[in-house]
Amino acid sequence: MSGRPTLIGEDGLRHDNRRPDELRSIKMEVGVLKNADGSALVEFGNTKVIAAVYGPREPPAKYMLSPEKAIVRCRYHMAPFSTAERKSPAPSRREIELSKVIREALESAIFTELFPRSAIDIFIEVLQADGGTRTAGLTAASLALADAGIPMRDLIAAVAVGKIDGVIVLDIDELEDEYGEADMPVGMMPSLNQVVLLQLNGVMTREEFDAAMNLAVKGIFEVYRLQKEALSKKYMLYIEE
């Protein structure tokens, strides 16, 4: 294929000078919206995602409620200006699928049985997309749930690993996703060693899958550490005053 960029240089570094096992620069901030019960802004390099949580609150319709637990409603959505070409704001098949896998991941962490007959709403907006938007969105949504005070088994930390030019790398960006051989988003409840989101888009051998999973776990523990730091920071600010 012509015009395919070199993803791993001769020095073994990636197109943005990262080592294969290096995350992009990550920023996290909790409590960024006034109206939402919980919110968070998360950036992985140029990928920028905001998440808001409302609830537990009354579901919009009676048929939606469960006598056993809170229902979880989740939307992963990309802003029209977040992509290289304007994205239609109507939900795409991709967004429908990602909303589902993200909802299931979050639902496995929330103690929904504490709030029967109610709804917990999670809204994720991708503001700028440069690869890893679902994992950044899941990371942000889990912070927003914590910020809303909704009891959870653990935070969910997530990152995408990939295979580019035959090398397994951490936290792939859009260019690496587009021209690489595989993209594998992974989300975990790190304290419980539970993988709650896993997709593989691409081809890997059994051995490569092992290597990719190990690298993902390593990255996830770093993302988890940053999440805890971001949560603490919200309460540190007042002490410094």
Partner 1 sequence: MANIYVANRQIVKPGDLLAEGDDAIAGSYTYKVGGKVYGTVIGLAEVKENAVSIIPLEGVVVPREGDLVIGVVVGVGVTNWFIDIRAPYKAVLNAGEAIEQFNPLTDDIRKYFDIGDYVLAKVLIFDRSRGPILTTKAKGLGKIVEGLVIDVKPSRVPRIVGKRKTMVEALTSLTNCSMTVAVNGRIWIKCPNSLLEDIVIRAIRKIESEAHIPGLTDRIRRFIEDEKRRAGIP
Partner 2 sequence: MSVTPIQPPIPKLKREAIVSALKKGARVDGRGFEDFRPITIELNPIPRRSNGSALVKLGNTSILVGVKISVERPFPDRPSEGVLQVHAEFVPLASPSFEPGPPDENAVEVARVIDRCLRESKSIDLGELVIVPGKYSWSIYNDIYLLDHDGNVTDASTLASMAALNVARLPKLVSVENDQVKIDYGTMDKQLPVKLNVVTVTLVKIGGYILLDPNLDEEILAEAKVTVGIDSGGRIVGIQKSGGGLSVSELNYAVDTAIKKSRELLTLLEKALKTV
The pair of three-digit structure tokens given for residue 52, joined into one six-digit string: 């808001």
Q: Return the one option of partner 2, partner 1, none that residue 228 interacts with (CB less than 5 to 8 A, by type).
A: partner 1
Contacts of 8 (CB under 8 A, 6+ apart): 14, 20, 164, 165, 166, 167
Q: By rule CB under 8 A, what string of x and - marks binding of each residue 98-137 to partner 1?
A: -------------x--xxxxxx------------------
Please pick, from the candidates 148, 161, 170, 220, the single residue that binds partner 1 as defined by CB under 8 A.
148
In the three-class reduction of DSSP (H, G, I as helix; E, B as strand; rest coil), residue 107 is classed as: helix
The separation between CA 131 and the C-alpha centre of its own chain, rounded to angstroms, equals 11
Q: Is 159 in the site for partner 2 (CB under 8 A)?
A: no
Choose which of 3, 63, 67, 88 interacts with partner 1 (CB under 8 A): 67
Among 117, 118, 165, 209, binds partner 2 (CB under 8 A): 209
The reply to whether 91 sits near partner 1 by the rule CB under 8 A is no
User: Cα dihedral angle (99, 103, 106, 107), rounded to 10 degrees?
Assistant: 180
232 binds, among partner 1, partner 2, none (CB under 5 to 8 A by kind): partner 1
- The Cα–Cα gap between 208 and 38 comes to 38
Dist CA 26 CA 42 (whole Å) = 7
Rg of the chain over all Cα atoms, to the nearest angstrom: 18
Contact call for residues 35 and 112 (beta carbons, < 8 A) = no
DSSP letter assigned to residue 67: S
Q: Which of 21, 22, 29, 107 touches partner 2 by CB under 8 A? A: 107
Q: Residue with structure tokens 């319709």?
A: 61
CB 178, min distance to partner 1, A: 34
55 near partner 1, rule: CB under 8 A: yes
- Judged by CB under 8 A, the residue of 63, 239, 240, 241 near partner 2 is 63
x/- string (CB under 8 A) for partner 2, residues 175-204? Answer: -------x-x---xx--xxxxxxxxxxxxx
* Footprint on this chain of partner 1 (rule: CB under 8 A): 37-38, 55-58, 67, 70, 111, 114-119, 146-155, 189-192, 224, 228, 231-232, 235, 238-239
